[in-house]
Structures are given as C-alpha cells and as structure tokens.
Amino acid sequence: MGAMFLGRESLCRIKNFVIDLDGVVYLLDTPIKENIEFLQFLRSQGVRIAFLSNNTFLPREGYVAKLQRMGVEAEVSEVFTSAYVTANYLAKKVPRGRVYAIGEEGLKEELRRVGLRLVFRLTPQGVDFVVVGLDRHCTFQKLKTALDFLLGGAELIGTNPDPTYPTESGVIPGAGAILAALERASGKRAHVIGKPSPDILLFLLEAMGFQREETAIVGDRIDTDVLLGKNCGVFTILVLTGVAKREEAHSSPVQPDVVVNTLQDLKALVGRR
C-alpha cells in the first residue's frame, strides 16, 4: 500500500523539517537507508533540518557523531534531545538545583553541563528534582531511592513519556514505564518535558528560528510525534519505519497530515518547489 496524503498543498510550503531519530533515521544502531537518503535529498534542496529525540542515551555531540557515521549531515546546534531541553528547563527553574536522575550517561551529562548537582544516594538535604529517562540498568534500589526523594518533597520530572523504545529485535520498556511506576508509588504526577509536551518543540522552534506554518515534524509515533505537532500547530508526517503501523494511523483519533511507508515517498512533493 502506498503513501496516504492528507495535505499535499501544505507540504509544498514546508521549509523546515524536524526529524525524530529512533524509528526514523535508525533502529538503535541500524540505519534506515531509505529515510537517510531522503534527508540527504532535503539538504540538497536547501531545506533546513533539526533533529528532535526523546532519547536520552547520549549527549548531543554523541548523536551528531552517530548520525555522521550513518552518512547524515548534522551539527550540534541542530540536535535537540529531551535530556538537553529538560536540563535547560530545570537550570532556569532552580539554578544549581539538586537532582536525582534515573537514566543513562547522556541524561546525566546534560544535567551536569548546565550546573545542576547530581545526587546518587539518599541524603538528609533531599533533592529539588527526581528526573526520569530511559535506563536500561534500572534497579529496584534506584526506584526506591527516587521514591524516598519524592516523598520527601522532590518534584517528579519526566524527560519523555514513551512506554516503549524500538530496537532491531523489537520494542523494550521505555522511560514512560519507569515514570509510571514512580507516579503510581508516589501519588505525584510528573511534569514531562519531552514529546508530546509542547515545551520541547517550542524550545526548538525558538532556538532554530523556525516559523510554525513553515515547519513539519516527522516521526514514527502517533502518541508523541504526531500529537506534539498537533499540540503546536505544525504539519505532521508519520513514517511507518518504527513503532506505528498503518492500521493505527487509520484508526487513531489523532490524525497525521501525511502517512508514508518511508520518507522516499515524500521526495516528489518536496522537490516540487
């Protein structure tokens, strides 16, 4: 079955593409060749690109290196992750705040860079924030420490609500699964910074100087990428190379403007300028 287009004319006016990473550019460490070729085509057409990911595994330059190894041109200034935006949000809210983080090194590094102080064990002073990202080494002890801090008054912050994360061998539990456990145990509702919260895309649009009416967001999830675009009034493109399936696109109450099997399906339209 071919591409499903609901907004051909609008797509022709797009000057900026906001591209998800996992499920769009690659599956963990496996490049998605057809989509990467389309990104190379966009660059050749003078279209501006920014990358937006809920993933928190690496600091921004780590994603730049990963993209470049796969043949994708990228600069650090074009990469926005939920870890990076969360760190900037928290540093503005409580400069040099104390943080207990469940997540991998990319999240912790972004928090350190903005002057936030990481705490690794229970202390009498407590912390200002418990920050949750995807942690493939999450343990019961980490959850217990986070819960103790939350019950002591810390604010619960989610880098993203993704329940799963796509890999070459199928999905694994995502940051949202860890977040849900802490919400249930603490009775607190997390403030989520990453997709589909408007916080993350509004930060990107301002940083890049993108106008909403000239911008499209591309992703593989309706519940994060497409919903984020709808929340912010930008054009939405769902690509079926990651989590979402065509049946979900047909039945979802949140409808993307365009659904494609791969981004190559967009080439003729984007080139028609």
DSSP symbol at 8 = H
Given a contact cutoff of 8 angstroms between Cβ atoms, the answer to whether 123 and 150 are in contact is no
Q: Which residue is listed with tokens 């984007």?
A: 270
Residue 156: enclosing H or E segment and its boundaries? strand 155-158
Exposed / middle / buried, residue 62 (Cβ in 10 Å: 0-12, 13-18, 19+): middle
The whole-angstrom separation of Cα 135 and Cα 103 is: 4
**∠ at Cα 178 (121, 238), nearest 5°?**
140
Residue 165: enclosing H or E segment and its boundaries? strand 164-167
The set of catalytic residues is 20, 22
E-strand stretches of 15-137:
16-19, 26-27, 30-31, 48-53, 79-81, 98-102, 117-118, 129-132
CA separation (Å) from 4 to 206, 233, 234? 30, 20, 18
The whole-angstrom separation of Cα 41 and Cα 174 is: 32
